[in-house]
Amino acid sequence: QVQLQQSGPGLVEPSQTLSLTCDISGDSVSSNSAAWNWIRQSPSRGLEWLGRTYYRSKWYNDYAVFVKSRITINPDTSKNQFSLQLNSVTPEDTAVYYCARDGGVGALYFDCWGQGTLVTVSS
Amino acid sequence: DIVLTQSPDFRSVTPKEKVTITCRASQSIGSSLHWYQQKPDQSPTLLIKYASQSFSGVPSRFSGSGSGTDFTLTINSLEAEDAATYYCHQSSTLPWTFGQGTKVEIK
């Protein structure tokens, strides 16, 4: 059974970098079928997909256009985890952040989610 | 981006009532539409994949239908534990997008 465990700070100052990590158990970040996603949720904007990383003989990333200039999602194969970095945050980035797995082609739905991390952007 | 519009935004229903939630896509997405349930202070969980396929372990009272631009989630004989917000999600075209949610309250 796949489980995702998130970690990272719940408070980030404006203009700084938001960093979260998602530990994977029961699957591999290097899976040739799954993809590893970050999604956030706020009352004003609902659920927003931010991006994903996946391995298909080499590493790929896809990012949402509205964060593309500020986001990096990296796999860490030694720790079987993946991370989110969001630069130059503003209060608009305050949200609950989730990591989630999708099963790749033919299974492009989020069948496993992390527990969520409330990140507040404030000084 | 593909916009998903759910209706209604809110339903207040009695136990054993049938609930229908619709999700309309701004363009055709085939059957690449999935439904999630989110209870307060919890992460979303998958209910229905690819419009009509039940996910493992989901009670049989949950069902989905539709294709193209119009989709429906039906909850037959609602139970108290079904109080939650329900979201649709499309995986036809990046970026993946979600509906705004439908909150179901038990009277």
pLDDT in tens, A46-86: 999 999 999 999 999 999 999 999 999 999 999 999 999 99
Length of chain A counted residue by residue: 123
Taking the CA of residue B19 and the nearest CA in chain A, the distance in Å comes to: 22
Q: What is the mean pLDDT of residues A97-116?
A: 95
Residue B58 main-chain phi, psi, to 5 deg: -80, 135
Distance CA A25, CA A9 (A): 21
φ, ψ of residue B26 in degrees (nearest 5): -75, -15
Determine the pLDDT at residue A14: 98
- For B48, which residue in chain A has the nearest alpha carbon? A109
Contact B34 A110 (CB under 8 A): yes
Tell me the three state secondary structure of residue B7: strand
B55 near A CB under 8 A: yes
Q: How far apart are CA A53 and CA A61, in angstroms?
A: 5
Which residues in B lie closer than 8 A to residue A108 (C-beta atoms)? 32, 91, 96
Q: What is the pLDDT of residue A113?
A: 98
Average pLDDT over residues B28-41: 98
Which B residues in the span 76-95 are in contact with A, Cβ-Cβ below 8 Å? 87, 89, 91, 94-95
Q: Is B49 on the interface with A (CB under 8 A)?
A: yes
**B positions 27-46 inside 8 Å of A (CB):** 32, 34, 36, 43-46
- With 0-12 / 13-18 / 19 or more C-beta atoms within 10 angstroms meaning exposed / middle / buried, residue A29 is buried
pLDDT in tens, A11-31: 999 999 999 999 999 999 999
pLDDT at A81: 98
Query: Is A62 close to B43, i.e. CB distance below 8 A?
Result: no
Do residue A110 and residue B44 have CB atoms under 8 angstroms apart? yes
The whole-number average pLDDT for the span A88-101 is 98
pLDDT at residue A4, as a whole number: 98
Q: Per residue in A97-107, is it b (16+ CB within 10 Å) or e — as a string? A: bbbbbbbeeee
Mutate to test the interface with B, among A47, A67, A97 (most CBs of B within 10 A): A47
- The answer on pLDDT for B50 being more than 90 is yes
Q: Across the interface, do A47 and B98 touch by the CB < 8 Å criterion?
A: yes
3-state secondary structure of B82: helix
Residue A106 has pLDDT above 90, yes or no: no
Give residue for tokens 């979303």: B44
